């Protein structure tokens, strides 16, 4: 009796191996350009990502969690923000940590300039290489140019001025794009002044 069953437990395992799965398992072997590839992340990638994240004040374990989702430091520069946030969510980062990650990416690597809102905007190829960098925290500035400074809808001299800030006015800058400042709507008229 013992020789046939192989000790009792072997018969159950052998029976389990012969069962058919109801659905085939799909495994992605390679990731296309701009996609997250979990298998391509090395220990050096995780260490580099952790170093960046710790330099912006995030906990040390976040780098390993994001690395387990296929994120590497070079991808933070090239992936759309929605993909970065989705990977952070899959990694189990709380909302506050995801917001801190978004802010760190915007401050360090910038985000592409938004689509044009005016008919005389620069060509799409020029806009694609322009990036908007968020400031780590809003910065109050005093307008020194006399008699005033025009606030524009876009970072371009050809954009229409939507308002003016007089010399002595205090504005609050929240981002920069190639020498232009983006102002906080309440403190700066809602435009981007040239400067």
Retrieve residue 82's tokens: 């929605």
Task: Report the distance separating Cα 138 and Cα 188, nearest Å.
Answer: 12
Task: Report the distance separating Cα 126 and Cα 129, nearest Å.
Answer: 6
Q: Is the pLDDT of residue 24 over 70?
A: no
Q: Is the pLDDT of residue 18 over 70?
A: no
End-to-end CA distance of the chain: 91
pLDDT at 85: 92
- Categorize the per-residue pLDDT at 156 as very low, low, confident or very high, splitting at 50, 70 and 90: confident
Retrieve residue 19's tokens: 């069962």
Q: Which helix (H) or strand (E) holds 187?
A: helix 185-188
pLDDT at 192: 40
**Which distant-in-sequence residues (6+ apart) come within 8 Å of 26 by Cβ?**
none
**Which distant-in-sequence residues (6+ apart) come within 8 Å of 160 by Cβ?**
118, 152, 153
Task: Report the distance separating Cα 160 and Cα 119, nearest Å.
Answer: 11
- Categorize the per-residue pLDDT at 195 as very low, low, confident or very high, splitting at 50, 70 and 90: very low
Order of strands across the sheet that contains 180-183: 111-112, 131-142, 170-177, 180-183
Retrieve residue 47's tokens: 């260490």
pLDDT in tens, 87-140: 999 999 999 999 999 999 988 888 777 665 555 555 555 555 678 888 888 889
Tokens 């360090």 map to which residue? 108
Measured in residues, the chain has a length of 195
Task: Report the distance separating Cα 64 and Cα 49, nearest Å.
Answer: 8
DSSP 79-120: S-HHHHHHHHHHTT--HHHHHHHHHHHHHHT-EEPPPP-STT
Task: Give the global pTM.
Answer: 0.57
The DSSP call for residue 39 is G
pLDDT in tens, 34-75: 566 777 788 998 999 999 999 988 998 999 999 988 888 888
Determine what percent of the chain is predicted with pLDDT higher than 90.
Answer: 16
Q: Is the pLDDT of residue 5 over 60?
A: no
- Per mean pLDDT, which range of 24-28, 42-46, 131-135, 163-167 is the poorest? 24-28
């Amino acid at each position: 009796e013992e020789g046939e069953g192989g000790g009792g437990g072997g018969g159950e395992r052998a029976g389990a191996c012969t069962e058919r799965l109801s659905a085939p398992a799909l495994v992605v072997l390679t990731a296309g350009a701009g996609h997250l590839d979990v298998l391509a992340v090395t220990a050096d990638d995780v260490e580099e990502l952790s170093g960046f994240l710790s330099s912006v004040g995030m906990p040390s374990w976040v780098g390993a969690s994001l690395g387990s989702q296929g994120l590497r430091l070079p991808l933070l520069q090239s992936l759309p923000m929605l993909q970065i946030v989705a990977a952070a969510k899959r990694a189990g980062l709380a909302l506050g940590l995801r917001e801190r990650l978004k802010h760190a990416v915007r401050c360090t690597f910038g985000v592409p300039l938004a689509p044009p809102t005016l008919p005389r905007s620069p060509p799409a190829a020029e806009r694609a290489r322009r990036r908007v960098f968020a400031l780590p925290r809003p910065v109050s500035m005093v307008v020194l140019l006399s008699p005033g400074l025009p606030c524009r809808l876009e970072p371009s001299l050809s954009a229409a001025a939507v308002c003016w800030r007089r010399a002595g006015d205090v504005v609050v800058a929240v981002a920069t794009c190639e020498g232009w400042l983006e102002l906080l709507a309440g403190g700066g008229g809602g435009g981007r002044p040239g400067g």
